[in-house]
Structures are given as structure tokens and as C-alpha cells.
């Protein structure tokens, strides 16, 4: 049978194409150019002077299932790393995780290439980070959104008081709503997201006891189509302020909602510069974003490693150290009454001084 | 009495209906009402308890009819309708004492059913000609990525018009992937399941690479296809809001369902296609070119999968995310089997899945005391029920999945 050879060849070709395309293990991508055009003056990386002092630290970033340009969470971590890299002239690379089964593999990719600092992003990568930190005790790890008890000596857990950020967003929504119905489009039901949601609910009720909060969890952070339908569904039930708290899923929701003409609130970083970048339709409906300064946290962890002050344990970023808070109102400012702005400032101040608590417990 | 499938279904519906009626009669406050939003007609108040008892009785009645074989060919449509009524009951129950926008939800169901319906049409085109295609998910994903990339690249010069070329690119990407599948499974007679799996994996890698290598640098949230109101028809109460105030791919899907049905069952090409899918040797002896028929059908199917991919990145979201098709290509295959390899049946199946998705969101908004993770499972559970052959008897084309060896 002369023909019998063909299926074999075809399969070999197919398989090799598949392998070429996705690769058995993702190779770290050196970010020669920052993927986000937001950085002001990019330094040509090829011109970087050869280090005369001890070789620069190597910093690796492993994302959650999500991408360094997701417009919210992972992108913010990436920006924090790049700030430290530019400032301290470090070497860096990132790996984007495609599936939760790859967490450990991606971390060990950096560990085996002798990276000095490995940043992992996201609650769901917590177990993998702990396992790898024990396997490579000389490498410094920092993880966003996870705190270990008891602490691991070479891991710095970077946690945030999302409930405070959500509380402020809720207060804003509760003050802005005309229908007394507001909505929140969440990603997966994991602690950081739950804290955002509960904070949002409590914040809204604190300024407007009659408000009704509609909430939806969507079991994916990368399903903007579902986020969109969730937001539209909430609008159909009279919601007139929507808070998107779930990466691209939430962003898909607020983008659709803003185009429908209701107020929207972004999450993690200021979505005026990401989801609504360049005044995309609905940009003037974005009243604010519930910030979670992942960039500051990641930057701090790397800076500590550079300065030799790195310590394992948990670092909390909250309202007192500006780790969380609301983004500027941008183009929506003219439509936000002075009284609302003052009330928000008052709540933010009270939170900073520890006088206002969110009442969220997990 | 032999226990046939209609009888099993009949008993299930009968028990379900009785339980529903009894529960509602006993546990629901007769004074509670549910407000249903019906689009431009405003709202309608229904008494929650009475409606639920009524739906329970209808469910039992359909069960009895099925049990005594009174439905025959109307079995599947009747039971699907009753199942939809039961879902309505679920909403009346969840929203008792409050309101729910019914028409908005049905419109959302149609939108969410669109990629599923297109994917199942892709499956029908392929499998009716005898080629199994489990690579629909991959074709959709690759099309979503490549269509978006083309839109992104061309919009520098063409502005918003580039999206139409992007859509064309998405459709052609689906066709190209399908051609790859066709060559492997028709020319080289590779195992079609393996070829389809290869396409799925290839699409994940290729689209991920495309996004990281090019799209990541461009930071771009794109335009999406505009809403087009069909003149006159859009003003019909209820139906207008559901069917005629949509974005283009939804209309294309509706047209393609009708067109596929027409071509498959009322044209010479459709007859040949079915002949090739049922008995290729017989078709060959009467002079039908089996290979050509299969090639053309598989590629046409791929074009439809490509259109489904365009729905994600170009019609709904305006950006591309890795794995954004989220398994809809596989659900599409379930919808195809649900519909017994017929376009209208598959469309019904797609609607059911779309409705389940919309329901999952709505029940969360109504704060129904059901864990939302359980609701996420509903479409998949429904798939298993369908695959287990509980609804009707599914008969795949006889030569489905078997390469044709010319004698």
C-alpha cells in the first residue's frame, strides 16, 4: 500500500505545526518593548550598558490565566514590574498562563533559569507559588492577592483591602443612582472578587439605604461576551450604575453598559486609560475606577529585593498607604454633583483615618 | 409494555409536573405576583402561584401524552416547548414579589444562541456529507483572532469600515481551517477525530501566538458591528425586540438556518450531500463525485464556523481574548445532535443553550437561592441528557466519520 505513508506524513506535519505554534513549554518573552504604549520615553533596550557592577537582578512575572494587556489586573502588575525594571535597570521577562495546570511549570521555567525575583499574579496561583517557593528557597517570590499563614520566609504576599475600594465605588454608585438599583458584574467567586462585591454592597447601602444591588458572578475572567450580557441584563432590571469587577469579563460589561448610557465604574486600574482608551464610545460615562494599586505593590516588592530589604510575610496595601482608592472622575466630573464629590472625599478621609470600616468579613 | 424513550420522557415530565404543581400549591404565597416585562407592551402582572400550578399541569399533560405515544412526530417540539415553559416557571418563581424583563431575556438568549447555532450549522454541513468535525471550536477561535487582527490592522487606513473586511477574514479563516481538516480526512483518510483535535489545539496555539506577538503591542479595543433595525418588522411588539433589533451576524445566522434547510432538503446539491453522507458507494455508482462533494461541504461548514468566530471578537466584544470561545464550539455539536442533524432542530437546541446561559445570569440577578455554579452546569448537564439520547432518537448520517475509499 503506497498510500499508507500519507496519513503518517500528514499527522507529523499537523503535530509539528501544533508544537511550533503553542510550544511544549512557553518560553519567557523578553519584553523588549513595553506592550502598552503608555510609557513616556522608552529606553532602547539594545543600548543598555553592559553591567560593570554585579549582574542586574533578573525578574520574572507569571500571570494568572490572563494577559499582560488585559486592561486591568495582570497589566497593572506588569506595569509595576516595568517601572522597577526601568528604574533599577533590571532584566525581566513574563509568562502568560494559559491554563491553571501550567502555574507550576511556568514558575519553574524562571526558577531553572536562575531568576532572582519571581512575581506571581493572582489568588489562584497561590498553591503553586507556595510549592515552588519551598522547592527554590534561595529565590525571592512575591505573590499578588495571597497571604500565607504561617508565612513562607522567601515569599512576600501582597494583599489588598479590596473591600475598601469596593466600598468607595459602592458609595459613589449609591449616590449617583436615580433608580435606586445598581449592578456589579464579577468574575470568578474568589476572595478578592468577593471582597470587592461585598464592599460595594455595603458602601452603597451606607449612603443610600434604599438601594438594591444586583450582582452576577461569571465563572471566567476572560469572557467579555458574558460580562456584556450580564450588564445588559442588569440594565433591563433598572440598574443605572454598573461596576465591573472581573478583568476582561467585567470590562466587557461596563463597555456595553457605558454605550447604553448608564454610569459605569472600572476596577483595579484606571480604566479610562485602558478599556476606554482614546475616548472609546462611552468614555464620558466612566465615573471612576475602584483602584487596587497592584503596580505599587509589585514595584515595592522588587525595590525591596534590589535594596536588600526583602522580607517574607504579608504586606497589606489599603487606604492608609494609598494601596486602594478611587480613580479620578475624568470626563464624567461635570456630571457628578459637588455634594456627591464632597461626600466621597469625606468617606475616603474617614477610611484613611480608620474611622470608617467596610464591615466586610470573609 | 415496552419502555421506549418517549415513555421514559413521559414519566419524567409527568412526575416533574406533579411535583411542580404540588410544591407551588403548598409553598407559595397566593398573594405574590410576578411582574413580567414584555418590551414595548410594558409589563404584565401574573399571580405566581396560579401560573406555576398551571405550568405544572401542562407539564404533566405533555408527559401523559408522551407516555401513551400520542405525540409521535410532534414529540420533540412539544417537549422542548414544555421545557421552555418550565424555565419560565423557574423565573416566575425566582422573581415572585418582584419583576423580570422577559423580552430582554429572550433577546439575550437569541444573541447568545447565535454562535452555537452557526457552529451547529457548520457541523451539519460537514456531517451530512459524512465528515465528522469536532474542530469547530478551534475554527471559531482562530477566526475570532484572525478577523480581529485584520480589523485592527486595516482600521489604520479604513477606519470603522475595516470591520467588514475583518469579518470576511474571520469567515475565510474558518474556511481555511476546514479545508485543512478536509484534506486530512478526505485525501489522507486520517482519523477525523484526531484531525479535529489537532485543529482545536492548533487554534489555541496559533491565536495565542498571534495575540501575544502582535495584538498585545497594539492595545486596542475595537469597533463592533452596528445594530441594524429591520424596517417595519422592528416595530412589531415583542417579536420585533427579540428578532429584528439585532447586529448583523444574528440576522445572517437566521438566514443561514433557513438557507441550509432549503439547500439540504430541497435542492439537487442537498440530495447529493445526503447521499454521500449515507451511502457514498451508492452515490459514486450513480456518478456523484464523493470527494468533491465532501470537500465543498466541509469548507462551507468551516465558513459558518468562521462567522461564529466573528461573532465573538467583531460583533460582541471588540477585542480578542485567549480561549474566548469558551467551549461554544462543542456545545454547538451537542445542539446539532439535539436537533438530529437538521437545521431547524439544531437551531432549537442552540436557543435552548442560549436561554440556559441567559437564565444563569438572570437568576443570579434575581438573587434566587440556587448556587450560581450549579447554574453554570445547566447547559452541560443538558448536553449530557441530549447525548444520552433521552430526547428523541438521534440518527447520525450512516457514513458519518468513515473515509471513502474509491473502489
| Predicted pLDDT at B299 | 97
Neighbours of B6 (CB within 10 A): 22
Lowest mean pLDDT, pick from A41-55, A314-328, B245-259, B316-330: A41-55
d(CA A304, CA A309): 5
Of B104, B189, B321, the CB nearest to A7: B189
Q: Which residues 247-286 of A have a C-beta within 8 angstroms of B?
A: 248, 252, 255, 274-277, 280
**Cis previous bond, B73, omega within 30:** no
Tell me which chain B residues have a C-beta less than 8 angstroms from the C-beta of A225: 112, 312, 316-317, 324
Judge whether B405 is closer than 8 Å to chain A, CB to CB: no
Of A217, A223, A224, the CB nearest to B364: A217
pLDDT of A350 strictly over 80: yes
The percent of residues above 70 in pLDDT, for chain B, comes to 93
pLDDT of B376 strictly over 80: no
Judge whether A67 is closer than 8 Å to chain B, CB to CB: yes
pLDDT of A2 strictly over 60: no
**On the CB side of B244, how many CA atoms lie within 13 Å of its CA?**
13
Contact (Cβ atoms closer than 8 angstroms) between residue B337 and residue B390: no
Lowest mean pLDDT, pick from A52-56, A254-258, A346-350, B33-37: A52-56
Tell me which chain A residues have a C-beta less than 8 angstroms from the C-beta of B194: 11
The band of B256, judged by pLDDT with boundaries at 50, 70 and 90, is very high
Of A18, A98, A276, the CB nearest to B198: A18
Of A6, A220, A237, the CB nearest to B188: A6
Taken in order B177, B319, B243, A229, is the CA torsion positive or negative? positive
Instruction: Give the helix ranges, DSSP H, for chain A.
Output: 5-22, 73-88, 103-112, 126-135, 162-176, 191-207, 224-236, 247-259, 294-307, 338-352
pLDDT of A26 strictly over 60: no
Nearest CA in chain B to A229: B108
Neighbours of A83 (CB within 10 A): 17
Across the interface, whether the CB atoms of A224 and B211 are under 8 A apart is answered: no
| Predicted pLDDT at A338 | 94
Judge whether B38 is closer than 8 Å to chain A, CB to CB: no
The band of A126, judged by pLDDT with boundaries at 50, 70 and 90, is very high
Q: Which domains does chain B have, with CATH numbers?
A: 5-97 (no CATH), 103-390 (1.10.3470)
Across the interface, whether the CB atoms of B216 and A67 are under 8 A apart is answered: yes
Highest mean pLDDT among A24-28, A73-77, B282-286: B282-286
Tell me which chain A residues have a C-beta less than 8 angstroms from the C-beta of B221: 71, 255, 275-277, 280
Nearest CA in chain A to B325: A223
Across the interface, whether the CB atoms of B321 and A224 are under 8 A apart is answered: yes
pLDDT of B253 strictly over 90: yes
Q: Which residues 322-361 of A have a C-beta within 8 angstroms of B?
A: none
Neighbours of A89 (CB within 10 A): 15
Strand order from edge to edge, sheet including B99-101: B43-47, B33-37, B99-101
Judge whether A237 is closer than 8 Å to chain B, CB to CB: yes
Across the interface, whether the CB atoms of A248 and B322 are under 8 A apart is answered: no
**Mean of per-residue pLDDT scores for chain B:** 88
The band of A166, judged by pLDDT with boundaries at 50, 70 and 90, is very high
Judge whether A68 is closer than 8 Å to chain B, CB to CB: yes
Closest-CA distance, B101 to chain A, in angstroms, reads 6
Contact (Cβ atoms closer than 8 angstroms) between residue B57 and residue B21: yes
The band of A89, judged by pLDDT with boundaries at 50, 70 and 90, is very high
Of A14, A219, A274, the CB nearest to B184: A14
Judge whether A23 is closer than 8 Å to chain B, CB to CB: yes
Classify A96 as helix, strand or coil.
strand
Of B37, B198, B317, the CB nearest to A14: B198
The band of B212, judged by pLDDT with boundaries at 50, 70 and 90, is confident
pLDDT, one tens digit per residue, over B145-197 is 999 999 988 988 888 889 999 999 999 999 999 999 999 999 999 899 999 99
pLDDT, one tens digit per residue, over B342-359 is 999 899 889 888 888 888
| Predicted pLDDT at B80 | 75
pLDDT of A53 strictly over 60: no
The percent of residues above 90 in pLDDT, for chain B, comes to 48
Closest-CA distance, B214 to chain A, in angstroms, reads 9
| Predicted pLDDT at B392 | 56
Nearest CA in chain A to B316: A225
Judge whether B144 is closer than 8 Å to chain A, CB to CB: no
Tell me which chain A residues have a C-beta less than 8 angstroms from the C-beta of B204: 22, 98
pLDDT, one tens digit per residue, over B65-114 is 988 877 777 877 888 788 878 888 888 888 888 888 888 889 999 999 99
| Predicted pLDDT at B30 | 85
ipTM of this model? Answer: 0.85
| Predicted pLDDT at B196 | 94
Judge whether A183 is closer than 8 Å to chain B, CB to CB: yes
Mean pLDDT on A45-65: 67
The band of B387, judged by pLDDT with boundaries at 50, 70 and 90, is low
Query: Residue A356 class from Cβ within 10 Å (0-12 exposed, 13-18 middle, 19+ buried)?
Result: buried
The band of A35, judged by pLDDT with boundaries at 50, 70 and 90, is very low
pLDDT of B398 strictly over 70: yes
Across the interface, whether the CB atoms of A67 and B376 are under 8 A apart is answered: no
| Predicted pLDDT at A16 | 52
Mean pLDDT on A161-181: 95
Mean pLDDT on B231-240: 88
Nearest CA in chain A to B181: A14
Classify A121 as helix, strand or coil.
strand
Q: Which residue has the higher pLDDT, A353 or A30?
A: A353
Of A22, A219, A229, the CB nearest to B112: A229
Judge whether A27 is closer than 8 Å to chain B, CB to CB: no
Closest-CA distance, A172 to chain B, in angstroms, reads 21
Judge whether B324 is closer than 8 Å to chain A, CB to CB: yes
Rounded to 5°, the CA angle A302-A304-A308 comes to: 120
pLDDT, one tens digit per residue, over A175-229 is 999 999 999 999 998 899 999 999 999 999 999 999 999 999 998 888 899 999 9
**Mean of per-residue pLDDT scores for chain A:** 85
Tell me which chain B residues have a C-beta less than 8 angstroms from the C-beta of A277: 219, 221
Phi/psi-derived region of residue B238, left when phi > 0, alpha when psi is between -120 and 50, beta in every other case: left
Across the interface, whether the CB atoms of A14 and B202 are under 8 A apart is answered: yes
Taken in order A266, A268, A270, A272, is the CA torsion positive or negative? negative
Amino acid at each position: 500500500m503506497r498510500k499508507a505513508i500519507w496519513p503518517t506524513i500528514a499527522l507529523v506535519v499537523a503535530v509539528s505545526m501544533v508544537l511550533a505554534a503553542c510550544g511544549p513549554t512557553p518560553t519567557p518573552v523578553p519584553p523588549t518593548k513595553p506592550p502598552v504604549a503608555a510609557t513616556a520615553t522608552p529606553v532602547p533596550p539594545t543600548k543598555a550598558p553592559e553591567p560593570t557592577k554585579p549582574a542586574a537582578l533578573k525578574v520574572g512575572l507569571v500571570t494568572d490565566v490572563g494577559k499582560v494587556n488585559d486592561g486591568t489586573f495582570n497589566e497593572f502588575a506588569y506595569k509595576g514590574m516595568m517601572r522597577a525594571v526601568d528604574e533599577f535597570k533590571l532584566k525581566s521577562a513574563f509568562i502568560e498562563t494559559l491554563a491553571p495546570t501550567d502555574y507550576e511549570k511556568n514558575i519553574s521555567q524562571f526558577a531553572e533559569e536562575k531568576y532572582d525575583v519571581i512575581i506571581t499574579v493572582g489568588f489562584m496561583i497561590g498553591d503553586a507559588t507556595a510549592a515552588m517557593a519551598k522547592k527554590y528557597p534561595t529565590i525571592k517570590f512575591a505573590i499578588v492577592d495571597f497571604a500565607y499563614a504561617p508565612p513562607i520566609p522567601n515569599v512576600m504576599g501582597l494583599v489588598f483591602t479590596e473591600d475598601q475600594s469596593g466600598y468607595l465605588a459602592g458609595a459613589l454608585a449609591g449616590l449617583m443612582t436615580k433608580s435606586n438599583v445598581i449592578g456589579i458584574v464579577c468574575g470568578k467567586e474568589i476572595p478578592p472578587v468577593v471582597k470587592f462585591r461585598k464592599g460595594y454592597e455595603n458602601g452603597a447601602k451606607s449612603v443610600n439605604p434604599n438601594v438594591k444591588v444586583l450582582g452576577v458572578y461569571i465563572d471566567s475572567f476572560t469572557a467579555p461576551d458574558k460580562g456584556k450580557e450580564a450588564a445588559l441584563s442588569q440594565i433591563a432590571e433598572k440598574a443605572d450604575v454598573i461596576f465591573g469587577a472581573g478583568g476582561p469579563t467585567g470590562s466587557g460589561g461596563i463597555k456595553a453598559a457605558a454605550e447604553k448610557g448608564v454610569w459605569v465604574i472600572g476596577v483595579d486600574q484606571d480604566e479610562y486609560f485602558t478599556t476606554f482608551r482614546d475616548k472609546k464610545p462611552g468614555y464620558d460615562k466612566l465615573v471612576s475606577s475602584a483602584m487596587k494599586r497592584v503596580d505599587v505593590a509589585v514595584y515595592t516588592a522588587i525595590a525591596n529585593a534590589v535594596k536588600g530589604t526583602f522580607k517574607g510575610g504579608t504586606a497589606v496595601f489599603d487606604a492608609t498607604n494609598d494601596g486602594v482608592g478611587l480613580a479620578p472622575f475624568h470626563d464624567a466630573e461635570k456630571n457628578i454633583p459637588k455634594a456627591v464629590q464632597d461626600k466621597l472625599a469625606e468617606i475616603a478621609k474617614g477610611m484613611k483615618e480608620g474611622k470608617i470600616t467596610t464591615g466586610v468579613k470573609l | 409494555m415496552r419502555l421506549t424513550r418517549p415513555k421514559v420522557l413521559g414519566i419524567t415530565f409527568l412526575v416533574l409536573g406533579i411535583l411542580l404543581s404540588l410544591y407551588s400549591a403548598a409553598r407559595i404565597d397566593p398573594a405574590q405576583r410576578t411582574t413580567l416585562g414584555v418590551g414595548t407592551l410594558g409589563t404584565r402582572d401574573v399571580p405566581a402561584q396560579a401560573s406555576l400550578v398551571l405550568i405544572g399541569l401542562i407539564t404533566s399533560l405533555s408527559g401523559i401524552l408522551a407516555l401513551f405515544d400520542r405525540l409521535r412526530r410532534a414529540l420533540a417540539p412539544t417537549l422542548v416547548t414544555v421545557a421552555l415553559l418550565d424555565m419560565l416557571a423557574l423565573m416566575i418563581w425566582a422573581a415572585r414579589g418582584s419583576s423580570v424583563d422577559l423580552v430582554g431575556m429572550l433577546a439575550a438568549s437569541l444573541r447568545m444562541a447565535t454562535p452555537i447555532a452557526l457552529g451547529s450549522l457548520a457541523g451539519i454541513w460537514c456531517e451530512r456529507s459524512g465528515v465528522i468535525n469536532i474542530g469547530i471550536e478551534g475554527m471559531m477561535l482562530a477566526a475570532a483572532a484572525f478577523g480581529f487582527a485584520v480589523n485592527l490592522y486595516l482600521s489604520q487606513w479604513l477606519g470603522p469600515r475595516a470591520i467588514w473586511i475583518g469579518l470576511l477574514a474571520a469567515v475565510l479563516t474558518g474556511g481555511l481551517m476546514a479545508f485543512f481538516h478536509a484534506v486530512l480526512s478526505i485525501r489522507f483518510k486520517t482519523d477525523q477525530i484526531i484531525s479535529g483535535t489537532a485543529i482545536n489545539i492548533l487554534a489555541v496555539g496559533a491565536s495565542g501566538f498571534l495575540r501575544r506577538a502582535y495584538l498585545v503591542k497594539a492595545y486596542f479595543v475595537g469597533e463592533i458591528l452596528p445594530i441594524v433595525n429591520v424596517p417595519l418588522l422592528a416595530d412589531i411588539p415583542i417579536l420585533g425586540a427579540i428578532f429584528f433589533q439585532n447586529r448583523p451576524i444574528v440576522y445572517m445566522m437566521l438566514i443561514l438556518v433557513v438557507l441550509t434547510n432549503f439547500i439540504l432538503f430541497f435542492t439537487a446539491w442537498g440530495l447529493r450531500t445526503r447521499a454521500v453522507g449515507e451511502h457514498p458507494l451508492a452515490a459514486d455508482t450513480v456518478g456523484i463525485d464523493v470527494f468533491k462533494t465532501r470537500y465543498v461541504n466541509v469548507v462551507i461548514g468551516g465558513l459558518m464556523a468562521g462567522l461564529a468566530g466573528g461573532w465573538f471578537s467583531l460583533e460582541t466584544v471588540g477585542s480578542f481574548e485567549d480561549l474566548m470561545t469558551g467551549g461554544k464550539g462543542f456545545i454547538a455539536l451537542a445542539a446539532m445532535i439535539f436537533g438530529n442533524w437538521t437545521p431547524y432542530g439544531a437551531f432549537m437546541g442552540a436557543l435552548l443553550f442560549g436561554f440556559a446561559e441567559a437564565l444563569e445570569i438572570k437568576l443570579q440577578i434575581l438573587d434566587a437561592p440556587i448556587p450560581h455554579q450549579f447554574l453554570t452546569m445547566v447547559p452541560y448537564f443538558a448536553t449530557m441528557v441530549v447525548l444520552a439520547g433521552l430526547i428523541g432518537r438521534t440518527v447520525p448520517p450512516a457514513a458519518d466519520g468513515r473515509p471513502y475509499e474509491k473502489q
